[in-house]
Amino acid sequence: MSVRVRFAPSPTGFLHIGNVRTALFNYLFAKRESGKFILRVEDTDAERSRSEYRDALVEDLAWMGIRWDEGPGVEGEHGPYEQSKRLAIYQKYVEALIREEKAYHCYVTEEEVEEAKRLAHLEKRPPRFDNRGRFFTKEEIEKRKARGIKPTVRFKIENPKLKMRDLIRGEVSFNLDEMVGDFVIQRADGLPTFHLAVCVDDGLMKITHVIRGEDHLSNTPKHILILEAMGFKPPQYGHLSLIHGPGGEPLSKRLESVSVREFRKRGYLPHALANYIALLGWSPGDDREIFTWEELQKVFDLKHVNKSASIYDPHKLDWVNGQHFRAMSDEEFARHALAYLKREKLLKHDETFVHRVLPIFKDNVERFDQLPEKLELLDDDFSYEAPDVVKSEEAQEIFRSALEVLPELRGEGEALYEEFLNGLKPKVKAKGKNLFMPIRLALTGREHGPELKRLFPALGLDRLKKRFERARSGAK
C-alpha cells in the first residue's frame, strides 16, 4: 500500500510553530516515500472554528511550500476534506457501533462524571470513568429520559491492555484500566468527538501513517480500538516531542509570536523557516544545518527524528534565515525584499532606487523587517551620530577633496569606490579609520553600516555629491 499521511488542523487560530512542524514532517515523509499528503480541516467545533482561520491556514501552508495532494481546493475520491461536511458519515458509523454493541447511549450526566472523578482523587484511585452508564437498567434509563437528560454515546473498552510500535519511540504499552473508562464518541448535542471523527476519516481516507505531537500519545490506544472496531486497519503512529520555549517552558500554542503569520510579518523566507523548523527534533545525521527546500525534501528521514524535547530559539532562527539571505544572488534578494516592503506597506522611496540599494544590506540583516531602519540612509535629512567628527578640520578636508574627485570618476560598480579612493588619498593626510569614518558619516550619518564599496555605486554620483556637500556645510 502506498504511503498516505495527513495534516488535520482545527481552524480555531493561526498556524503556530508546533502544528506547522507536524505538517512539515508529514509532508517531507510523504515526499521521501513517494506518497500522498492530505490536508483535512477538523472544524466540528462550531463555537471556536472560524472561516478566516481556515483560509489563513490554507494560505500559510501554501506560502511555506507545503502542497497537498488531496484537500480543500484539491478534491480527491475521499472527500469532502472538512469535517463539518462529513457529519452524516460519522452518524452512520456511530449507529453501526451501537448496533454491534461496541458502543452505547450513556445517560450519565457531566455533573456525575465530575463527582466520580473527585471521589476517585480523594480515594487515590485513577480518575477514570467507572462505566456505570453501561449497566443502567431500562427503568433507570427511562427515568433519566423523563428528566430530559440527553445521552452521549460511549465506546466500550473491552481490551484494556494494548501495545504498539511507535515510529519514533519504539514499543509503547498502555493500560486503559488505569487511564480511562468507556469514553465519549458522540456528544449529547449529536456531534462527534475528536476521537470518533478522526478515526472515521483516517479509515476512509486510507491513512497509512499518522505523525503528530506527543500530546496525542494517550489518544492513540483509543484510536486503535475504534479503528479496529469499525473494521479498519490502524495506521502506524509516530509521536513528535513537544517544542519548549528558550527557557525550557512549554511553548504556548496561543503565542502570536510563534505563528506563521507573525513569521511572515517579520520577514522570514518560507524555506528558511522550514529549514529551521525541520531542525526542531530532526537532524540529518551529521553537523549540517542549512538546506535548500529541494535538499530538505531529499535528506529528511523519520529515522533521524529524536525523542527529546526541542527548544525554540528565535536567535537560531534569525541565524538560519540570515544564512539563506547570504546564499541568494543580489537580484533574488532585492526581489524578495522589495516584495516584502511593498506587502507590508514599508516602501517609502522610489522603487527603482530601493531595488538598486537593497543588495548592499544582504550581509547585514537576518530578517526583512530589519530593512526599514537600514533604508533610513536613503533619507537626505539624516542626523550625524558623531557630529564633532563631521565638523573636524580633518574631516572637512576629506569632504572638500571628495567633491574635487567625484567629477573625475568614470568607473562603474564596486570599481567606482576604488577609483574614488585612488583619487582621494593623495589629496588628504588622513589614513585608515580617520579616513573611512568621515566618509561613512557623510554618506549615511552613521559610524557603522554596509560596505562603502557597495554603497557608492548604489547611491549614484549625484547623491554622493549632495551628501558630501551637506557634510561640508557642517549641517546638524
DSSP string, 156-196: -----EEEEEETTTEEEEEEHHHH-SSEEEE-TTSPBPHHH
- Which grid cell sits at 22? 507536524
Cα torsion 417, 418, 422, 425 to 10°: value is 60
Which homologous superfamily is 86-240 in? HUPs (3.40.50.620)
Residue bearing cell 522550514:
274
The residues, any chain, with a CB within 8 Å of residue 103's CB and separated by 6 or more, are: 94, 97, 153, 154, 155, 156, 185
d(CA 69, CA 239): 23
Share of the chain above pLDDT 90, in %: 81
Nearest of 169, 452, 458, 208 to residue 330 by alpha carbon: 458
pLDDT confidence bin for 133, thresholds 50/70/90: very high
Q: Are strands 4-7 and 243-244 parallel, antiparallel or unpaired?
A: unpaired
Q: Where in the chain is the domain with CATH 3.40.50.620?
A: 86-240
pLDDT at 205 over 90: yes
422: helix, strand or coil: helix
Q: State pTM to two decimals.
A: 0.90
Once rounded to an integer, what is the mean pLDDT over residues 55-83?
Answer: 95
Q: How far apart are CA 8 and CA 3, in angstroms?
A: 16
- Is pLDDT at 7 greater than 50 in this prediction? yes
Measure the CA–CA gap between 339 and 468, rounded to whole angstroms.
Answer: 32
Contact 292, 271 (CB under 8 A): yes
List of residues 6+ apart from 269 with CB closer than 8 A: 321, 324, 325, 336
| Residues contacting 356, CB < 8 A, separation 6+ | 334, 458
How do residues 319-359 score in pLDDT, each as one tens digit?
Answer: 999 999 999 999 999 999 999 999 999 998 889 999 999 99
CA–CA distance, 274 with 302 (Å, rounded to integer): 16
pLDDT band (50, 70, 90) for residue 125: confident
pLDDT at 249 over 80: no
CATH says 380-472 is which class?
A: mainly alpha
pLDDT at 203 over 80: yes
- Band (pLDDT 50/70/90 cuts) for residue 377 is confident
Q: CA 195, CA 181: separation in Å to the nearest integer?
A: 14
More confident residue, 27 or 414: 27
Which region among 230-239, 289-298, 441-450 has the lowest average model confidence (pLDDT)? 441-450
pLDDT of residue 476: 45
Pairing of strands 243-244, 310-311: parallel
> What is the band of 475 on the pLDDT scale with cuts at 50, 70, 90?
low
Please state, in angstroms and rounded to a whole number, the distance separating the CA atoms of residues 58 and 73. 10
Query: What's the burial of 470, exposed, middle or buried (CB within 10 Å: 0-12/13-18/19+)?
Result: buried
Q: How far is CA 142 from the centre of its chain?
A: 51
* pLDDT score of 405 more than 80: yes
Alpha-carbon span 464 to 129, nearest angstrom: 78
Q: Distance (Å, rounded) from C-alpha 415 to C-alpha 423?
A: 12
The boundaries of every CATH 1.10.10.350 domain in the chain are: 380-472
d(CA 1, CA 218): 27
pLDDT at 117 over 90: no
Q: Which of 206, 253, 391, 465 is catalytic?
A: 253
Grouping H, G, I as helix, E, B as strand and the rest as coil, residue 328 is coil
Cβ atoms of 17 and 251 within 8 Å: the answer is yes
Q: What are phi and psi of 376, to 5 degrees?
A: -65, -20
Active-site residue flag, 303:
no
What is the Cα–Cα distance from 304 to 294, expressed in whole angstroms?
A: 18
